[in-house]
Amino acid sequence: MEKSQAIRQLSALAQDGRLSVFRLLVKTGKKGLRAGEIARKLKVAPNTLSAQFGVLSNAGLLSSRRDGRSIIYTVNFDAMGSLLVFLMEDCCEGRPEICAPVADAARCIASCKTGTVQ
The pLDDT-based confidence of 82 (bands split at 50, 70, 90) is confident
Total tally of structural domains belonging to the chain: 2
Looking at the structure, do residues 61 and 20 belong to the same domain, yes or no?
Answer: yes
Per-residue model confidence (pLDDT) at position 66: 94
Looking at the structure, do residues 47 and 103 belong to the same domain, yes or no?
Answer: no
Domain that holds residue 94: 79-114
Q: What is the pTM of this model?
A: 0.81
Looking at the structure, do residues 9 and 66 belong to the same domain, yes or no?
Answer: yes
Give the C-alpha distances (Å, rounded to integers) separating 68 from 3, 13, 106: 38, 29, 33
For the residues 46-69, what does the mean pLDDT come to? 93
Three-class HEC string of 78-108: HHHHHHHHHHHCCCHHHCHHHHHHHHHHHHH
Residue 34 has pLDDT above 90, yes or no: yes
Looking at the structure, do residues 37 and 92 belong to the same domain, yes or no?
Answer: no
Looking at the structure, do residues 12 and 70 belong to the same domain, yes or no?
Answer: yes
By C-alpha distance, which of 2, 28, 29, 9 is closest to 80? 9
Per-residue model confidence (pLDDT) at position 15: 96
Residue 72 sits in a domain whose CATH number is 1.10.10.10
- CA pair distance 93, 6, nearest whole angstrom: 22
